[in-house]
């Protein structure tokens, strides 16, 4: 059952990025359609990310009291709905409003994933399995480029128009509607695959399962909080936890780099580096997928070498990223720009 649950949150979180990174990929088309400035595009992408950042914390607190699979599936369906509405948008303020709503609903994906992983995997195994789950956002964020591209060719053929005409008039179909349809289908899989805790599924406690397998499990005293609200739990065990603040501070800088690069990658490569749309799509895809082996390696190293300490590999990665960003901005060679973008990812 835990394999099913892992596959459910893996594919589910992949779906969340399908209906989010498509917004970034569509920014050149939005800019062209509405004749927007770079500041306007920054407002659109920035509004979504700020809303997502706030929602990620708030929605995760709420998810503690919810059924993980229903909560995750609902968020994915709402994200798909916003994508459909984006396809009908024709004003700057409509885009801003809808991407803010999208950012809010995007926050519903993380909490259920962590709860499911904690329910089925003990601490000593959690590093590698969390790393496995974590690559889902790279797969989802990267695969959106080929999905948008291939569905564009298919829809253009179906409509009997050239790709140039399709990109001018019908681009919202493959950038918004196709990812939305994928999101709805994936939400159904989440409802099917994700299970409750072992106890809720009529199984023995995870500690007993590991003892039967010969795995030593540390005895952890559970903190009973049946009478505390979600906010009280958040305030007592997160807001007042200095370690949570250390991780949040580290994550702030990691995501400043990541989202700064990915949010501007399409327009930057098209306008500054002289890429065509196909080359830009490849760079976008590799930015996400190149992170997959390094994510798995980081999970393995943090478990086996650093015995559960996650910060040393993270700090080492930030040092490497610093040099990759310098190469990304200074190089004018097509292949080297793609290489540095992939390595930064």
Task: Kindly list the distances between the CA atom of residue 297 and the CA atoms of 181, 246, 306, 338, in Å, as whole numbers in the listed order.
Answer: 33, 23, 12, 22
Lowest mean pLDDT across 7-21, 239-253, 318-332: 239-253
Residue 228 has pLDDT above 70, yes or no: no
Where are the strands (E) in the chain, listed by range?
Answer: none
Number of H-type helices and E-type strands within the chain = 17, 0
Residue 245 has pLDDT above 70, yes or no: yes
pLDDT one-digit tens code per residue, 61-80: 888 778 888 999 999 999 99
Mean pLDDT of 155-162: 92
Residue 215: pLDDT band with limits 50, 70, 90:
low
Higher pLDDT, 93 or 206: 93
Return the pLDDT at 306: 72
Is residue 43 exposed (0-12), middle (13-18) or buried (19+ Cβ within 10 Å)?
middle
Lowest mean pLDDT across 111-120, 121-130, 216-225, 332-341: 216-225
- Closest Cα partner for 68 from 161, 155, 5? 5
Contact 98, 149 (CB under 8 A): no
Residue 97: pLDDT band with limits 50, 70, 90:
very high
Return the pLDDT at 221: 44
pLDDT one-digit tens code per residue, 40-54: 999 999 999 999 988
Higher pLDDT, 2 or 102: 102
Token couple for 334? 């097509």
Task: Kindly list the distances between the CA atom of residue 311 and the CA atoms of 57, 303, 328, in Å, as whole numbers in the listed order.
Answer: 21, 12, 25
Average pLDDT score, the chain: 83
Most trustworthy range by pLDDT among 26-30, 199-203, 316-320: 26-30
Q: How far apart, in whole angstroms, are the C-alpha atoms of residue 133 and residue 114?
A: 9
Mean pLDDT of 234-253: 77
H or E element, residue 27: helix 27-34
Q: How far apart are the first and last CA of the chain?
A: 32
Indicate the domain borders of the chain: 2-197+228-344
Q: Left, alpha or beta for 309 (phi > 0: left; psi -120 to 50: alpha)?
A: beta
Return the pLDDT at 230: 62
Largest CA-CA distance found in the chain, in angstroms, rounded = 65
What percentage of the chain reaches a pLDDT higher than 90? 32
Cβ neighbours of residue 219 closer than 8 Å, sequence gap 6 or more: 207
Mean pLDDT of 17-33: 91
Q: Residue 170: what are its φ and ψ, rounded to 5°?
A: -115, 15
Higher pLDDT, 345 or 213: 345
Higher pLDDT, 56 or 78: 78
Contact 149, 278 (CB under 8 A): yes
Return the pLDDT at 107: 92
Q: Residue 156: what are its φ and ψ, rounded to 5°?
A: -65, -40
Instruction: Enter the DSSP assignment of 109.
Output: T
Decide yes or no: CATH 1.20.1250.20 for domain 2-197+228-344: yes
Token couple for 171? 């681009």
């Amino acid at each position: 059952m835990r394999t099913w649950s892992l596959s459910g949150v893996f594919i589910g979180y992949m779906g969340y990025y399908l209906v989010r990174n498509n917004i970034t990929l569509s920014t050149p088309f939005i800019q062209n359609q509405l004749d927007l400035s770079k500041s306007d595009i920054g407002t659109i992408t920035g509004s979504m990310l700020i809303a997502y950042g706030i929602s990620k914390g708030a929605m995760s607190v709420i998810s503690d009291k919810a059924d993980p699979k229903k909560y995750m599936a609902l968020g994915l369906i709402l994200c798909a709905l916003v994508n459909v509405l984006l396809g009908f948008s024709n004003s700057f303020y409509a885009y801003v409003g809808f991407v803010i709503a999208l950012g809010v609903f995007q926050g519903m994906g993380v909490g259920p994933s962590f709860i499911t992983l904690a329910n089925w995997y003990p601490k000593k195994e959690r590093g590698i399995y969390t790393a496995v789950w974590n690559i889902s956002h790279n797969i989802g964020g990267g695969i959106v480029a080929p999905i948008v591209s291939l569905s564009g060719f298919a829809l253009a053929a179906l409509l009997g128009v050239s790709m140039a005409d399709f990109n001018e008039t019908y681009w919202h179909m493959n950038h918004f509607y196709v990812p939305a349809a994928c999101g709805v289908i994936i939400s159904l899989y989440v409802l099917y695959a994700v299970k409750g805790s072992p106890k809720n599924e009529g199984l023995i406690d995870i500690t007993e399962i590991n003892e039967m397998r010969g795995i030593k499990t540390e005895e952890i005293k559970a903190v009973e909080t049946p009478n505390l609200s979600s906010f009280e739990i958040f305030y007592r065990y997160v807001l007042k936890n200095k370690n949570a603040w250390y991780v949040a501070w580290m994550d702030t800088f990691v995501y400043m780099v990541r989202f700064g690069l990915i949010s501007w990658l399409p327009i930057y490569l098209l306008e500054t580096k002289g890429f065509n749309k196909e080359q830009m799509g490849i760079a976008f895809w590799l930015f996400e997928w190149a992170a997959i082996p390094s994510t798995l390696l980081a999970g393995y190293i943090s478990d086996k070498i650093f015995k559960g300490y996650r910060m040393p590999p993270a700090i080492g990665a930030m040092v490497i990223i610093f040099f990759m960003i310098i190469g990304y901005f200074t190089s004018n060679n097509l292949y080297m720009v793609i290489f540095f973008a992939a390595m930064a990812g």
